[in-house]
Structure 1
Amino acid sequence: MTVTAEKLVKVFPGVRALDEATLRLSPGTVHALLGENGAGKSTLIKIMTGVLRPDGGRIVLADGTEAHFSGPHDAQRAGIGVVHQERNLIPAFSVAENIALQAVPRKFGFVDRNAMRALAEKCLGQLDVRLDVDRPVAELSVAQMQLVEIAKALAVDSQVLLLDEPTASLTSDESDRLFAVMRALRDQGHAIVLVSHKLDEVFAIADTVTVLRDGRSVAEAQPLTDFRTDDIVNLMVGRAHAVLELDRKPVDRTTAPALELDTISTDQGHRDVSLAVRPGEIVGLYGLVGAGRSELARAVLGLDKITAGSIRVHGERVRIRDVGEALRRHRMGYVTENRKEEGVFLEQPISRNIAVTVWRRLARLGLVRARDENALVATYQERLGMRLSGPGQLAGQLSGGNQQKVSLAKWLAADCDILVIDEPTVGIDVRTKAAFHELIVGLAGDGLAILLISSDLPEMVTLADRVLVMRDHQLVGEVDNDHSYERTSQAVGRLLHSTGRIS
């Protein structure tokens, strides 16, 4: 089935997520949809599958009719299915029950279990997959669950199938198996959309490619054979951006590191990762989504398991068990990428969000006074330029930029001297973004050691003193950043698709 998403526009408060982006899909092809984090891929998928409505543009189906989806079920009825990176299965249900969940066969008003099993076996047969359809999904491997997700989409006759990072949790052998399934579906006439940051996989399976950058399609349904890997990387990250000139202090490279990682390995797949961050230095950790940057930070802070290597804080070898211990014992803070679920308490007032890291310091006879919490709000409202109605306002009522400022304020209130900042400006408008950049450079100027994770290359060039490039959970090189976008982006681009790694 031919489907065209034509000149789609989607605007969120302060952010133009899609800016006349176009995606043209043809039957019998695997189409790669590529772009950096924040390029608009997820927004485009949500519009294609009825989760969001566009503010402009249109979706045109094979018969020339214009589609108006009021929800995901409308998209499914039009033959468009999606398999999300986070699986959407019910573990206690059987394989057959999960596959038939969106189109449960009935007989005399009751669930027809024989027909349900037959439907499941038919859909799995299309994938050349053999599974016991009565087996609970909880007993399956990750790869088998992924195949059940695809079979679930086929159960509602999806002729267009969008796969969002389908190999993120798969081994190489499992990925090869999935690719065989994708080729089989392509040969049956399905249009397959592959969203992935693993370019080697993209070149192994895809026929055509669309690249999004800043909400625009900079390559549109072009044959993948027209490109090399570095061409794709340059399309994704090679936009010309003026780098914000900031007043920064030079880093004293003779100073002992505040944070050192020595040949760290983790159960997330990192191997022999070594880096150092000095007081007053911003070290950038760059890579495409899926490279393992956030997972490395989480391991350092005790949220994921370190299997080998050591961490030193101000020269002392430490073992950090959780974020609370990192703060209390080592004055280390963590501004998480996931501000809505981990960064702020949406249903709690701003005062409580900012004061949470220093309640022990503020407590008198076991109680924390509201006026002490409010005093903190006043301090950081002015320092960070937060726009609030008052300290009692719920954090969930703030804009994304102000929520991020609240997330940062709680760590500043705790007087951290090491700060891990993960994707500080995703979903934030341009003006607030510039203010954040000035703030981060100012914090480094005050002597904080900052490990910065960002998928936004212009942001990295603006802020970092050094850029460490990560790919496939390993560091593959380092760029001494002179804040020239052209030079630094070219050096980073070469490392992103190089075959070697740093020793």
Structure 2
Amino acid sequence: MTLFLADKVDKLFPGVRALDGVTLKLEAGSVHALLGENGAGKSTLIKVITGLYKPDGGRLVLDGSEVQFGSPHESASAGIGVVHQERNLIPGFTVGENILLQKLPTSRGLVDRSAIRTEAARWLAELDLDLDPDQPVTELSVAQAQLVEIAKALSVESRVLLLDEPTASITPNEAERLFRVVAKLKNDGRAVLFVSHKLEEVFQICDTVTVLRDGASVLESGPLGDLTRDQVVDLMVGRVHEALALPARTVPAADPLLELSGVGTASGHADVDLSVRPGEIVGLYGLVGAGRSELAKALLGLDRITAGEVRVRGQAVRIRNVRDALRNHKIGYVTENRKEEGVFLEQSVSRNIAVTVWDRLRKVLGYVPAKAEAAMVAEYVEQLGIRIASPAQLTGTLSGGNQQKVSLAKWLAAKTEILIIDEPTVGIDVRTKDAFHTLIWDLAANGLAILLITSDLPEMITLADRVVVMRDHRVQGEVANDHDYDTMSQRVIRLIHAEGTTAA
């Protein structure tokens, strides 16, 4: 039985046809994959379905009746739940309040705190998630916040559940927990839409698939069991995807640009030692909660360093903030959270890229010549292959991959010499991921010192020259990378589970 149908849906933006006659059919008791490259229209379609965007053509049908949603609240009230790729929790609220936000229990006109705790605990238990409903969401890790988002969507008892990159920021164990919940929803007769760039997950849990390319459906509701991985990738990109082959690159013998010696932080790091030389990619690997992103932020002055020494170009430094890191030490940081920290969504592409170099371009009385800014922006748009209608386009209207390129462009424009890149390809399709890998490789070949943080072990093994493994905010050991996946994965995993600090 068809629970939901998006029939020949169009969506237009200035200079862009984001959706061109897209059809999506979701059946009761089925998990349906929605696939496509970044910019193919997946997130736009979800925003149309959930009332964030009004379609410019076509129709939406729920349970046999045509519907029109003017807001996400109307969509949710009709029985459509959604977990967006970017988190939408309210920072000032608790875990329980966020989960039950659509229908907060009350007693005699007041919010019933006891009922919130009881009801939220039920949905947390559905995910086997051991969290206190009274805990502020600001204290959650990225993975925990993502799972709370899923509990929030389940709490409205949706007949249709849309999952947009739900596993992008969670561990494999947490993903398996989510897949068990998805299987239960399927057995209960609900329709689940699963959007992911991880094809191994798609083939593991999905029954049918719709593939979008350039805003149009190139496959509508095809049985996934009839397709191979290469056939799916071919549908997504228009050709069979070839394995990435990177050119040879030699790390020059040179003193480190960045060194940490016995570093401790207010977040709990202790005795952290690592170094990065010019032209070198040093990987920082560990499970979610290992403290990798927190260490990066401490290096930028966003957390207090309580012990040890940080040296840049051989000199001990105390970095006060991101501005100090960039202006005085030429350190840039491509954050994992591009939506909230990486780019200004409501500002133009031009402004986002130029923001780090206004001081350099500024003339007398603070005037920034438009011609100089435009030339600089055009250089990096072309270099990184950023797909835009014009430099004036709002960054929030770009695909996730292009937003990530804009985030990277602003640091390259600032002529950084040390670049910290945190989860560069989360939520990015296979072809764009390859483009990022080539770009990072080329940046190192041109002398940039790169500290790479990624939870994607194949990505780490593809790119890093050395892999530093962390657990519980400490360095477990270091592995020289021979780029052989089988041997490297075994050595890295052994370090993650090893007791005490070891070398490999």
Q: Please report the TM-score for the alignment, with normalisation by the length of structure 2.
A: 0.62
TM-aligned CA distance change 1:165 to 1:267, over 3 Å? farther
2:288 is the alignment partner of 1:264 = no
The verdict on how the C-alpha distance between 1:268 and 1:214 changes in structure 2, with shifts beyond 3 A counting, is farther
Query: Which residue number corresponds to residue 307 of structure 1?
Result: 306
After superposition, residues 369-388 of structure 1 pair within 5 angstroms as 369-388=369-388
Aligned to 2:127: 162
* Map of 2:426 onto structure 1: 426
Pair 1:115–1:417, CA change in 2 (3 A): closer
Shift of the 89–446 alpha-carbon distance from structure 1 to 2, 3 Å rule, reads closer
1:304-338 Cα deviation digits (max 9, x unpaired): 22221211001000011111111110011111111
The answer to whether the Cα contact below 8 Å between 2:99 and 2:120 also exists between their aligned partners in 1 is no
Please name the residue that 2:292 is paired with.
Answer: 293
Structure 1 position 14, deviation (Å): 3.3
Q: Secondary structure at the match of 1:475?
A: strand
Per-residue displacement from partner, 1:74-101 (whole Å, max 9, x unpaired)?
98999x999x99865865x9x9999898
Alpha-carbon distance, 1:450 to partner: 0.4
Aligned to 1:483: 483
Letter in 1 for 2:307: A
User: Which whole-Å CA distance do the structure 2 matches of 1:426 and 1:305 have between them?
Assistant: 27
| Aligned amino acid, residue 304 of structure 2 | K
Residues 336 and 342, structure 1, Cα contact 8 Å, conserved in 2: yes
Give % identity. Answer: 50
**CA separation of 1:475 and 1:160: change in aligned 2, threshold 3 A:** closer
Partner amino acid, structure 1, of 2:120: I
Q: 1:98 to 1:374 in 2, by over 3 A?
A: closer
How far is 1:468 from its partner?
A: 1.1
Distance 1:486 1:290, change over 3 A: same
What is the CA distance between 1:349 and its match in structure 2? 1.9
Q: Is the 8 A contact 1:243 1:485 kept in 2?
A: no
Tell me by how many angstroms 1:122 deviates.
Answer: 6.1
Aligned to 1:319: 318
Write the mapping of 1:5-154 to structure 2, written as runs, cut at 5 A: 6-11=30-35, 13-14=37-38, 88=90, 102-105=103-106, 113-114=107-108, 120-121=113-114, 150-151=120-121, 154=122
Q: 1:145-169: per-residue Cα shift (whole Å, max 9, x none)?
A: xxxx835xx5xxx597336684898
State the shift of 1:245 in Å.
2.3
Q: How does 1:177-326 map to 2 (within 5 A)?
A: 214=199, 216=201, 244-252=244-252, 254-326=253-325
Which residue is 1:468 aligned to? 468
Aligned to 1:55: none
User: Comparing 328-337 with 345-354, which one deviates more in the overlay?
Assistant: 345-354
Distance 1:245 1:424, change over 3 A: same
Measured after TM superposition, the shift of residue 498 of structure 1 is 2.5
SS of the aligned residue for 2:415 comes to: coil
Report how far residue 390 of structure 1 moved: 2.4
* CA 1:6–1:402: 2 relative to 1, 3 Å: same
Alpha carbons 1:354, 1:377 under 8 Å: kept: yes
The equivalent of 2:336 in structure 1 is 337
Report the residue type matching 1:358 in the other structure: V
One-letter code of the match for 1:269? G
1:11 counterpart letter in structure 2: L
The superposition leaves residues 37-63 of structure 1 with CA deviations (integer Å, 9 ceiling, x where unpaired) of xxxxxx9xx99xx999xxxxxxxxxxx
Following superposition, the deviation at residue 456 of structure 1 comes to 1.2
- CA distance in 2: counterparts of 1:382 and 1:101, whole angstroms: 44
Residue in structure 1 matched with residue 409 of structure 2 by the alignment: 409
* DSSP 3-state at the match of 2:403: helix
State how far apart, in whole Å, the 2-side matches of 1:97 and 1:392 are: 35
* Cα root mean square deviation, aligned: 4.7
* 2:97–2:116 Cα contact (<8 Å) kept: no
Q: Deviations over 1:315-368 (max 9, x none)?
A: 000011111111110011111111122212222222221111111111111100
Residue matched to 2:351: 352
Residue type of the alignment partner of 2:484? S
| Paired residue type of 1:256 | D
Structure 1 portions without partners, runs of 5+? 19-42, 53-67, 106-112, 128-148, 176-194, 221-240
CA distance in 2 between partners of 1:432 and 1:346 (Å): 20
- Counterpart of 2:393? 393
Cα 1:497/1:10, change in 2 over 3 Å: farther
User: Is the contact between residue 401 and residue 432 of structure 1 (CA under 8 Å) also seen in structure 2?
Assistant: yes
**CA gap 1:199/1:400 in 2 versus in 1, 3 angstroms:** closer
Structure 2 match to 1:31: none
| SS of residue in 1 equivalent to 2:357 | helix
Q: Work out whether residues 89 and 98 of structure 2, in 8 Å CA contact, stay in contact via their aligned partners in 1.
A: no
Distance 1:102 1:274, change over 3 A: same
Match of 1:234?
none
Quick check: 1:85–1:165 contact (8 Å CA) kept in 2? Answer: no
| C-alpha distance in 1 between matches for 2:295 and 2:380 | 29
Letter in 2 for 1:490: Q
Alignment partner of 1:325: what SS?
helix
Inter-partner Cα distance in structure 2 for 1:100 and 1:381? 40
- CA shift in 2, pair 1:307/1:364, >3 Å: same
Q: Deviations over 1:391-413 (max 9, x none)?
A: 22222222222222221111111
> In the alignment, does 2:333 pair up with 1:363?
no
Q: What letter matches 1:14 in structure 2?
A: N
Q: Provide the C-alpha distance between the structure 1 equivalents of 2:101 and 2:405, rounded to a whole number of angstroms.
A: 45
TM-score (norm 1): 0.62
Q: Give the match's secondary structure for 1:470.
A: strand
Q: In 2, are the aligned partners of 1:17 and 1:214 still within 8 Å (CA)?
A: no
- 1:187 corresponds in structure 2 to none
Give me the whole-angstrom Cα distance separating, in 2, the residues matched to 1:463 and 1:333.
19
Cα separation, partners in 2 of 1:198 and 1:166, compared to 1, 3 Å:
farther
Question: Conserved in 2, the CA contact under 8 Å of 1:286 and 1:455?
Answer: yes
Offset at 1:201?
11
Unaligned ranges ≥5, structure 2: 1-27, 53-66, 145-166, 184-195, 206-240
Residue identity matched to 2:498: S
